[in-house]
Amino acid sequence: MLLKKLFRTLWHYKAQFISMVLMIAMGVGVFLGFNIEWYSLEKNLTEIYEATHFADYRIYAEQAFSEKDLQAVLAIEGVEDATRYLSVITSVKDSEDTLALTVVENPKVSGMLIISGEEYDPESPDGIWLSDSYAAANGISVGSGLTMTYKTITVTGTVKGLVKSSEYLICLPDETQMMPDYSSHGYAFISPKMLDAAIPAAYRLIVGNSLYMQLNVKSSLEKADFVEKTDHALGRTLLVLSRDETISWSEAQGEVDEGKTMGSILPVLFLAIAILTMVTTMHRITASEKTQIGTLKALGFRDKRILRHYTSYALIIGILGSILGIAIGYGLGWFILNPDSAMATYLDMLSWTLYAPAFCWIVIILINVFLTLIGFLSVRKMLKGTAADALRPYTPKRMKHMALEETKRFKALGFGTKWNLRDLLRHKSRSWMTLFGIVGCMVLLVGGMGMKDTLDSFMDVFFDRAYNYTTKINLDTESVTNEEALKIADTYAGDWVAQRSVQIGDRGVILEVYEITHDKVRFADRDMNVIPLGDDGVYISERIAKANSLAAGDSLTLSPYGTDEQYTVRVAAVCKCLTESIMMTRAYADRTGIPYTISAVFTDETDIAANTHILNTQNKQAIMDSFITFIDLMNKMIWLLVIAAVALGIVVLYNLGVMSYTERYREMATLKVVGFKNSKIGRLLISQNLWLTVLGILIGLPAGVGVLQYLLTALASEYEMRLTLGPGTYLVSVLLTFGVSLIVGLMVARKNRTIDMVAALKTEE
Amino acid sequence: MAIVEFKKVSRVYKNGEHEQRALDHVDLSLEEGKFIVVLGPSGAGKSTLLNMLGGLDSPTEGTIVVDGKDISTLTENELADYRAETVGFVFQSYNLIPTLTVIENVALVKEIAKNPLSSHDMLREVGLSDHIHQFPSELSGGEQQRVSIARALAKNPRILLCDEPTGALDSETGVMVLKLLLSMARDMHKTIIIVTHNQNIAKMADVVIRVKNGRIQSCEEQAAPLSVEEVDW
């Protein structure tokens, strides 16, 4: 019988019941969805790193490594495994494509995972194990023939298998590219035996017996320790890059960190609002059921049974909300992260399986336990005392006089204002929840849209104002001389840059030497103002400044990669940059004696004649497009948050509005009997909502800016952005919050038309 | 002159297929300035009659004319104006706004009534001048009922409608409230209609209406109504 009552009561409170389920569902959904995003990315990344034995260190040398070198490294204590490794960019015969031809002696380090076809055979004389993404983009299948050329070496073979490798997780032909394009570039593994057979005798005479310019190592040693030990073992100073300095690791981890940051504050706030509102609603429903609870007690039902009966409401709501929330969470996770997303073009992972972090399940279980406990405690409170006590209807707290009431200003207030003001103070938890809901909605809107403004302003400064060129001509630094490069720059009336990798301590950054005579490249200072480069020192990115505690006027020592030379330079200013870079003019570079090779020319010309020294050309739009792909994920999250904020705002405010309406039902009936019109009562109801909205907006606006600042600080390791809020964001978030509040207010206020005065006033207090 | 006229008024409540006739072809004519008591057992239709007259409910058949105006065809807003200007209500359960003080509860009628009386005067009349800044929950039941009477009278209505005004009070307090109602009716020349179970109250009335099964059984004028003190409570 009680079960029947359970369902009928749920039906009776259907508006509150549905809104509570929705609140929990949305809170759990957004919280879970955002955490699924970064956690799935991390898990799927770990999967491919482990499956293809991603190396911890890469040692590069000007001269190839011998077998003896390999053994010396393997003998280092703390080195688990190592391999000689070769990766060179080859051109594919009969096409303009390029493939990174890869040879790994010991595939237990930096190896591959077979997706289809034959197992890798290190003895195969003609087998090619090709990137499956490149194969798919070019219609190549197992059994197809392929010829690749590197300088005088030509390799011809048959595709034996299609593979993936974490070394090429982000597969780019050179540093000038930001976004993989498998239709024109991929990678292919061949056996050491096949490589050996392909080296012509004449070439062998020049380069010696080995082409392996790289040693890839698995080791848990710290970088400084590892560098010291390898330098000692190999007897020379070499360029060593840890996995943190490898694109396929650092960029992918950056995406994970970005997801963690986005998931760390706003979705938590979201969940908190949902839970707190649910708690308030649960308590109120129990209070309005007090007489029924008393009746059951008076009938002879034991407290335990009544507790179980009423507690099960909270449990049912919690469970239904959680189930729906889990579905929403996975839906959101899939929306942000799926094999058809931009992220899947960027990261060539094995799978895009969604995983939820264990703590999310714990949080969901705790939420259910908490809600049930709240239900339990509310009912227990109502059951206190004798059956007669329980039978008495719930009475809200007695009104108390406030100091405020003694003021002249308060006395001069209209009745409606006093009524609403006292009601707010009498039902404090409801008022707080409403305020909290509005503040939350506002924070989510300001945070979300402000992030979009910040990103837009970032794009605007860099791509519309700082990058004042149309075409970037990338030069082949291996073959070009500065004289030849200058000729190219002259021909196209362009400015140029010489890029090279340098180290500050053991941290790798990019050094850029610029010659700007045509205003094709400008720079952004910390306030995002576009500035020219001066000859008075180097301009460093914020990240470098922060990592090395540098400010304008300090000096900085840098060392080009793989050398022992050191240069001390003066920091002229700290700038906002896309990459971690140190920038200087040609004049300053000449003065300090830092060597450089021109690597790119910036011009407005679009018709660039073929030249052996030109690697490729890129138009600004293409560079911009690839950057947009990076922020696409963040944009998606932002829009999800904004939509979710509005939805949550509506549900929370509607729920609290209905609660307020129910609690003031009798008072409104009285007003109606006295002669108040529906419209006037409606205005009274809405005005309370609007006060809270104005207050919520006043608090939410700065809070939103604070949250945004926090997010930007957390994202500072990836993007050097400056908090920017456009007037549109202020306007839209205020109007949207106001609009939500007003619409919900009107929806609730409309209900007063249906007040049954006779029935309402007959009920005993 | 009749201030209230019921002409063949019926009120039928439908609940699914079940039909309940709360008032059945009631004809009634009441004169201004009288103290009228409506008596009847539970479910007789006396409260329905009062609600119809107060503009809280509309008849399904017939017309109700109050002060020359047919209120049975008024729109919701017109009914609100009618309640604001013509009638005042006093309920068994007081129905005060808990978040407003005594004076504010009375003064709130200023928001709607065209010719409201001074709230302070009204509270002085009901003997609550010393309690004007208290909240209803700080008052006794009798005091709360007096506030509700002050509120009803502050609108300066022609008719005061009271539904079991002493129902929730002990007899001593009830007598005090009745005395107050009666003296105000006489002094301010109001028509007072009280709905009650209490036969004793009827002894004070100018007119006694007995209702049973939705019909008027009798409507008698009493030539010599007793004073409150004369009634044996």
> What pLDDT was estimated at residue A765?
40
pLDDT of residue A54: 96
A670 touches chain B (CB under 8 A): yes
Higher-scoring residue by pLDDT: A726, A622: A726
Task: Indicate the residue of A396, A398, A667 with minimum beta-carbon distance to B97.
Answer: A667
User: Is residue A667 within 8 angstroms of chain B, CB to CB?
Assistant: yes
Question: Is the sign of the CA dihedral A562, A563, A566, A572 positive or negative?
Answer: negative
Report yes or no: B76 at the A interface, CB cutoff 8 Å: yes
The mean of the pLDDT values for chain A is 87
Put simply, the answer to whether A415 touches B83 (Cβ < 8 Å) is no
Angle between helices A223-234 and A67-74 (to 10 degrees): 140
B2 in contact with chain A, both atoms CB, cutoff 8 A: no
Q: Do B112 and A676 touch (CB under 8 A)?
A: yes
Question: CB A586: neighbour CB atoms within 10 A?
Answer: 20
Set of chain A residues whose Cβ sits within 8 Å of the Cβ of B132: none
Q: Which residues 77-106 of chain B have a CB within 8 Å of chain A?
A: 77, 80-85, 89, 91, 93-100, 104
Whether A677 contacts chain B with CB within 8 A: yes
What span, in angstroms and rounded, lies between the C-alpha atoms of B110 and A383?
A: 43
Q: Do B111 and A416 touch (CB under 8 A)?
A: yes
Residue A422, chain B, CB below 8 Å: the answer is yes
- Per-residue tokens: B55: 């503009």
- B31 to chain A, any CB pair closer than 8 A? The answer is no
Check whether A293 has a pLDDT greater than 60: yes
| pLDDT tens-digit series, residues A254-287 | 889 888 888 888 788 888 888 888 888 888 888 8
- pLDDT tens for residues A142-200? 999 999 988 778 999 999 999 999 999 999 887 667 788 898 899 999 999 999 888 88
Tell me if A675 and B155 make a contact (CB, 8 A cut-off).
yes
> Which range has the top average pLDDT, A58-62, A224-228, A281-285, A344-348?
A224-228
Nearest residue to A326 (alpha-carbon basis) of A361, A352, A359: A361
pLDDT at A379 over 60: yes
Distance, in Å, from the CA atom of A26 to the CA atom of A328, rounded to the nearest integer, reads 7
Residues of A in contact with B110 (CB under 8 A): 415
3-state secondary structure A176-220: CCCCCCCCCEEEEEECHHHHHHHCCHHHHHHHCCCCCCEEEEEEC
Give the closest residue to B162 by CA, choosing from B198, B134, B137, B129.
Answer: B198
CA distance A364 to A367: 5
Per-residue pLDDT tens digits for A468-484: 899 989 888 878 899 99
Distance CA A540, CA A573 (A): 7
Among the partner residues A671, A679, A758, nearest to B57 by beta-carbon distance = A758
- A vs B, Cβ pairs < 8 A, gives 96
End-to-end Cα spacing for chain B: 33
Q: Which residues from A are below 8 Å from B97, CB to CB? A: 419, 667, 670-671
Q: What is the ipTM of this complex?
A: 0.84
Mean pLDDT, residues A448-462:
86
Query: Residue-wise pLDDT tens for chain B (233 aa)?
Result: 789 999 999 999 887 788 888 999 999 999 998 999 999 988 889 889 999 999 988 899 999 999 999 999 898 889 889 998 899 988 888 888 888 889 989 988 888 888 899 999 989 988 899 999 898 989 998 899 889 989 998 998 999 999 988 887 888 888 888 888 888 778 888 899 999 988 888 998 999 999 999 999 999 999 888 888 887 77
The answer to whether residue B141 neighbours chain A at the CB level (below 8 Å) is no
Quick check: B158 and B86 in contact, CB under 8 A? yes
Q: Which residues of B touch A415 (CB under 8 A)?
A: 100, 104, 107-108, 110-111
Determine, for residues B83 and A677 on separate chains, whether the beta-carbon distance falls below 8 Å: no
Q: Which of A388, A154, A219, A167 is CA-nearest to residue A290?
A: A388
* Residue-wise pLDDT tens digits, A80-122: 999 999 998 898 988 888 899 999 999 999 999 999 999 999 9
Spatial CB neighbours of A37, under 8 Å, sequence gap ≥ 6: A259, A262, A263, A332, A333, A336, A337, A637
The predicted-structure confidence for A668-711, as pLDDT tens digits, reads as follows 888 988 889 988 888 888 888 889 999 999 999 999 999 889 88
A669 with B95: Cβ contact below 8 A = yes
Flag whether residue B111 sits within 8 Å of chain A, measured between CB atoms.
Answer: yes
Q: Name every chain B residue with its beta carbon within 8 A of the beta carbon of A750.
A: none
Indicate the pLDDT class of residue A209, thresholds 50, 70 and 90. Answer: low
Mean pLDDT calculated for residue range A648-664: 84
Do the chains contact at B96 and A416, CB–CB below 8 Å? Answer: no
Give the nearest partner residue to B51 out of A426, A669, A758, using CB atoms: A758
Does residue B32 sit at the A interface (CB-CB below 8 Å)?
A: no
Q: Which of B47, B56, B133 sits opposite A673 (nearest CB)?
A: B56
Whether residue A62 has pLDDT greater than 80:
no
Best of B46, B97, B120 to disrupt the A interface (most A CBs within 10 Å) is B97
User: Are residues B84 and A676, on separate chains, in Cβ contact within 8 Å?
Assistant: yes
**Cα–Cα distance for residue pair A379/A377, rounded to 1 Å:** 5
What is the nearest CA distance from B159 to chain A, expressed in angstroms? Answer: 13
Q: Name the minimum distance, in Å, from the CA of B210 to any CA of chain A.
A: 22
Residue A416 contacts B, CB cutoff 8 Å: yes
Question: How far is the alpha carbon of A757 from chain B, nearest alpha carbon, in Å?
Answer: 7
pLDDT digits (tens, 9 = 90+) for A4-54: 777 787 788 888 888 889 989 989 999 999 999 999 999 999 999 999 999
pLDDT value of position A763: 52
- Considering CB atoms only, which of B91, B100, B110 is closest to A419? B100
Instruction: Tell whether B107 is within 8 A of chain A (Cβ).
Output: yes
Q: Which of B83, B95, B144 to mutate to test the interface with A (most CBs of A within 10 A)?
A: B95
Quick one: closest CA in B to A426, which residue? Answer: B99
Of B206, B126, B196, the closest CA to residue B166 belongs to B196
CB contact under 8 A, B83 and A674: yes
- Rounded to an integer, what is the distance from CA A529 to the centroid of its chain? 26
Provide the percentage of residues in chain A whose pLDDT is more than 90: 38
Chain A residues in contact with B57 by the CB 8 A cut-off are 758
SS3 label, residue A186? strand
Tokens of A289: 């059921």
pLDDT band at A76 (very low <50, low <70, confident <90, very high): very high
Minimal C-alpha gap between B131 and chain A (Å): 13
- In this predicted structure, the answer to whether residue A202 has a pLDDT above a threshold of 80 is no
Q: Residue A639 is inside which H or E element, if any?
A: helix A620-663
Task: Return the residue in A663, A673, A680 with the most chain B beta carbons within 10 A, the one to mutate for interface testing.
Answer: A673
Q: A414 in contact with B at a CB cutoff of 8 Å?
A: yes
The reported pLDDT for the residue numbered B147 is: 93
Tell if the CB–CB gap between A415 and B111 is shorter than 8 Å: yes
pTM of the model: 0.77
| Element at A313 (helix H, strand E) | helix A303-336
Q: Judge: B89–A764 Cβ closer than 8 Å, yes or no.
A: no
- B83·A680 Cβ contact <8 A: no
Tell whether A411 lies on the interface with B, counting CB pairs under 8 A. no
Whether A325 contacts A24, CB under 8 Å:
yes
Fill in the amino acid letter for B229. Answer: E
Residues of B whose CB is below 8 A from A667 = 97-99
Residues of A in contact with B135 (CB under 8 A): 398-399, 401
